[in-house]
Structure 1
Amino acid sequence: MKLIFLPRRVSQSLTLDTSKSTHQFMLMGFLLLPFVLGGLSFWIYSSSLKQASETQLMDQWQQELARQAANVEQTQQRVGDELSAMTAKVAELQARLMRLDALGEQVTQVAQLDNGEFDFSRRPAVGGPELVSDTYPVALSVLDKHSSLQLMLGQLVTHIDNREQQLAMLDKQLAARDTRMQTFVAGKPVTKGWMSSSFGRRTDPFSGKQSWHEGVDFAGNAGVEVIAVASGVVTHSGRKSGYGNIVELNHGNGYVTRYAHNDTHQVSIGDIVEKGQVIATMGSSGRSTGPHVHFEVLKNGQPMNPERYIYRASL
């Protein structure tokens, strides 16, 4: 078969003889050329789309990296601020611990406690069996993750708690000792005066007969201050037969003291008085021959010799 092509601007015609192999290849080339050009165009289009997609993905990666870099910078800033705050807290706790130690040492010296009873210069002794078990894996893992500053903070807080407990115990002991000292019956019941009559058997100043004297007398000038020999509660403040004006104090532990023949009273029933507080003024009320104070000490209701307490050493 022959194919004749007649170009418009060319005077000669082009004839293809399909029986010839050369002409067959040329014909196949013409027929395949559109498919080759279409495939080439599709490849170019696909390549451009792929490149655009890769460019877009690269832009997204760059944006994500920029966000992560900003987050890292913010995290670093926050961690730096937290470390600065923790460092300041550590310094504050260390200063507080030093003040507590100094205060404890000072209180221990002032209180004249036994050496070593409250030693604030060394860490308190602690202990206990080591628990090696899988029961506490979470707690142990958390402890393992603590930073050095966090561990230091925990140790300082523990030391401060120990010091505060020591100071609290010391305060309780001092308060108890102060209470014992305050309620410890000892000393003279007057600021000025002398003992004019002792405890026990004596000649009665009115009848001249032998009688029993359940206290001691301190003579002096009218108006001399009468003081409590120990802290306590006023259980009587008024007149009583034979005693005249009398103040009676209950000191606890079975101790009661009486101050009689007073001129005036400075306390009332129910008042709490301290050791050395003025409770009355010396007078000569009741069965009395002159200004003096009749002083009695009772233990569980039984009269005791006041001289044993007047010259008693303090705690």
Structure 2
Amino acid sequence: MKVIVINRKHGGSRSFELGRWSRALLSLCCLGLPLGMVAAGYVAGLESEAQALRGESVDAMADELAQQSQELEAIRDEAEQKLQALTLSLAELQARMTRLDALGEHLTAMAELEDGEFDFSQPPALGGPLAGEFEVDYSSLDLTGELESFSRRLSDREQQLAILESLLNNRRLEDEAWLSGRPIEKGWVSSHYGKRNDPFTGQPAFHHGIDFAGKEGSGVLAVAGGVVTWVGERAGYGHMVEISHGDGLVSRYGHNKQNLVAPGDVVRKGETIALMGSSGRSTGAHVHFEVYKHGRSVDPSSYVRRTRR
């Protein structure tokens, strides 16, 4: 292959003869340059696309992290609310347990149980050998279910204790209405029930009660709980108090210095209802004690000798 080079300035020309290798090199340069440019452009495009993809991936990861952060915050808020609810539930259960302990101590005192037999101020004593080695999976514990179960047990305990208290109160009411003991704290029997010589006439007469002599102004006590049905002066009795105890039983307390109750009052066993005196047909400070059963006078001695249930 021959190449002619023309010089415009001098008007001359020169020719070169290209051999086979020269022609090959020239062809390679002429073809390789465009191909190289195309290849460089392709590589640059790939790099740009890779950078764009990396940017999109980073943005997607940032969005996902932000969403996960929001979800984590929501979970944390929900857990906080549940924890507060559990705390309130535990506080309520603790208050109920405190009331149950107080009720248990009250019932123990009412039942007059021996010291140490029941102690509601201490947790129950528990124990026993470990039945094999095991691990507790705390992740599987249902705290809400445990609280509900604990609440049900407390409700059952409250109901049983309420029934026990009702039974004890009924028993106490029966004890209150049980006529027994003397109508005075200190003193002696100065006259029995039945026939005797009248202290004013000296003639035989029937005495419908028992006279308990003592110090003037000392307390006159109700021998049983009941309702006051009469307060005032009555012929022969002086200042008198009458109490109805139910089941047809009525007790009377005469010759009082001063009555301390009024009609309609509910009195308890052993309550002071009057002060001992010598009002009415009396020779000295004493209380005239009578018991009526279904409207008929009966000997109070059997009731005086009774003991508490």
Q: Secondary structure at the match of 2:289?
A: strand
1:77 corresponds in structure 2 to 76
1:109–1:171 distance in 2 versus 1, CA, 3 Å: closer
2:158 corresponds in structure 1 to 164
1:240 corresponds in structure 2 to 234
Residues 93 and 156, structure 1, Cα contact 8 Å, conserved in 2: no
Q: Secondary structure at the match of 2:224?
A: coil
2:279 corresponds in structure 1 to 285
**Deviations 1:87-144 (Å, cap 9, x if unpaired)?**
5356546645664664465445431469xxx99969xxxxxxxxxxxxxxxxxxxxxx
Q: CA RMSD in A?
A: 3.7
**Deviations 1:260-283 (Å, cap 9, x if unpaired)?**
111221222222222222222222
Query: For the residues of structure 2 that align with 1:283 and 1:109, how far apart are their CA atoms?
Result: 40
Give the superposition deviation at 1:156. Answer: 1.1
1:60–1:275 distance in 2 versus 1, CA, 3 Å: same
Candidates 187, 200, 208, aligned match of 1:206: 200
Correspondences of 1:121-136 after superposition (within 5 Å): none
Letter in 2 for 1:257: S
Query: For the residues of structure 2 that align with 1:243 and 1:104, how far apart are their CA atoms?
Result: 46
Residues 90 and 152, structure 1, Cα contact 8 Å, conserved in 2: no
Query: For the residues of structure 2 that align with 1:112 and 1:94, how far apart are their CA atoms?
Result: 28
Q: Secondary structure at the match of 1:166?
A: helix
Letter in 2 for 1:275: K
**Deviations 1:7-44 (Å, cap 9, x if unpaired)?**
xxxxxxxxxxxxxxxxxxxxxxxxxxxxxxxxxxxxxx
1:96–1:271 distance in 2 versus 1, CA, 3 Å: closer
Query: For the residues of structure 2 that align with 1:300 and 1:70, how far apart are their CA atoms?
Result: 87
Give the superposition deviation at 1:226. Answer: 1.3
Residues 265 and 280, structure 1, Cα contact 8 Å, conserved in 2: yes
Letter in 2 for 1:88: T
Gaps of 5+ in 2: 1-52, 126-139
Q: Secondary structure at the match of 2:229?
A: strand
Give the superposition deviation at 1:217. Answer: 0.7
Query: For the residues of structure 2 that align with 1:289 and 1:176, how far apart are their CA atoms?
Result: 42
Residues 105 and 119, structure 2, Cα contact 8 Å, conserved in 1: no
Letter in 2 for 1:244: G
